[in-house]
Amino acid sequence: MSEAGRASRGRAATIFDVARLAGVSHQTVSRVINDLPNVRPSTRARVEQAIAQLHYSPSPAARALVTQRTRTIGLVTPGISDYGPTSIAMHFNFAARAARYAVETVSAPPDDPKAIRTVVDSMLRQRVDALVVVVVDIGVLELVRNLDLRIPVVIAASTARRSPRIVSIDQYRGARAAVRHLVDIGHSRILHLAGPQNSPDAIERVRGWRDELAAHRLEIAPPAFGDWSAATGYQRGLQLELEPGTAVFVGNDQMSIGLLSALRERRLRVPEDISVVGFDDVPEAGYLFPPLTTVRQNFDTLGELIMQKVLIAVEDSEPFTEDTPLPTHLIVRGSTRPVDD
């Protein structure tokens, strides 16, 4: 009976079945499966044809024994549904899949270093090839910075303290661009509705807002803080001291949505009375009333950059190099306009 016939009778095909059908050694089949070099194209084609004919699926455990790698990456995400962290996780998964890696994802409390350490230990027991951690809390960032593991660790976080392990989008310069836009259209009083005080993203956006105002010698009022939600944008919007000609730079688009609602309730028109700039460019931003001027982050590029660092460390055994934070892009829409218009 042929190898294909035996496999069709219910027994799962093995690497030895593939080798016999292709007329090669099982070591050659292993090299093809693991995409290793030094296999003739004609031989590779015969092996791939045998794999397809036998419907052979290599065991992950067996592949790990051959390569000492599982082709699995551990991804630790904060247990929140905010746009930024979820977008980073999604685009990293896309990039990992394109590189033929599996991703084992675990969510942990966003601001609990002890819980993060427990999750990391569980990932190590699963023998992942590398670890990616999306960080939204400064305490967790400090913990992850100091991890000394036997596998590569890549951190997605915003911070003024650069590190070869860290990849980020330039929140600081994005905030400066938002404030500079408001200054350029004539605003001299620019308030800031910021994210949580323990958030690395929020800290960098506050720093950018403050430095840009200082560069133009404009008043720096204490920022108001929210929790990234539309609800706190609305609540703070009812409390802000506003007058016609004021502008508000908001730490993210969700809080901007709440702020717009509060301003309508206060009978303040946007942009005629108040200009508003958000941050993120969520898919809904261009369909608000008015469409929201905001700062776009390229999460797809960030996901690809994270995966590139993983591949360099895992497959080439090269040390990490420090990366320049990815740039943001100001998207000007209808929520801002020159003061004198």
pLDDT in tens, the chain (341 residues): 555 555 545 567 888 889 999 999 887 887 787 777 778 899 999 999 999 899 887 665 555 544 556 789 999 999 888 999 999 999 999 999 998 899 999 999 999 999 999 999 999 888 899 999 999 999 999 999 988 888 999 999 999 988 899 999 999 999 999 999 999 999 999 999 999 999 999 999 999 999 999 999 999 999 999 999 999 999 999 999 998 899 999 999 999 999 999 999 999 999 999 999 999 999 999 999 999 999 999 999 999 999 999 988 888 777 888 889 999 999 999 999 999 76
Structure tokens at 197: 């005080």
User: For position 115, what pLDDT does the model report?
Assistant: 92
Q: Which fold has domain 3-66?
A: 434 Repressor (Amino-terminal Domain) (1.10.260)
At 62 the pLDDT is: 52
Within 8 A by CB and 6+ apart from 70, the residues are: 60, 63, 64, 102, 126, 127, 128, 129
* 13-16-20-24 Cα dihedral, nearest 10 degrees: 130
Q: HEC string of 137-174? A: CHHHHHHHHCCCCCCCEEEECCCCCCCCCEECECHHHH
Q: Identify the pLDDT of residue 8.
A: 46
pLDDT tens digits, 313-322: 888 777 888 8
* 79-134: pLDDT as tens digits: 888 999 999 999 999 999 998 899 999 999 999 999 999 999 999 888 899 999 99
What pLDDT was estimated at residue 184? 97
Whole-angstrom Cα distance, residue 102 to residue 80?
Answer: 22
Taking a C-beta distance cutoff of 8 angstroms, is the pair 256, 294 a contact? yes
CATH architecture of 69-169+299-326: 3-Layer(aba) Sandwich (3.40)
* DSSP secondary structure, 168-209, as one string: -B-HHHHHHHHHHHHHHTT---EEEEE--TT-HHHHHHHHHH
Sign of CA dihedral 26, 29, 33, 36: positive
Q: What is the pLDDT of residue 274?
A: 97
Cβ–Cβ under 8 Å, residues 200 and 138: yes
Domain ranges of the chain: 3-66, 69-169+299-326, 171-297
Q: What is the pLDDT of residue 102?
A: 93
* Domains 69-169+299-326 and 171-297 alike in fold: yes
- Determine the 3-state secondary structure of 281 from DSSP: coil
Q: What is the pLDDT of residue 105?
A: 94
Pair of tokens at residue 207: 């720093």
- Measure the CA–CA gap between 308 and 188, rounded to whole angstroms: 43
Residue 166's region, left for phi above 0, alpha for psi from -120 to 50, else beta, is beta
CB atoms within 10 A of CB 151: 17
Residue type, 48: E
What's the confidence (pLDDT) of residue 341?
60
Domain 171-297: state its class.
alpha beta
| Among 36, 32, 28, 71, CA closest to 48 | 32
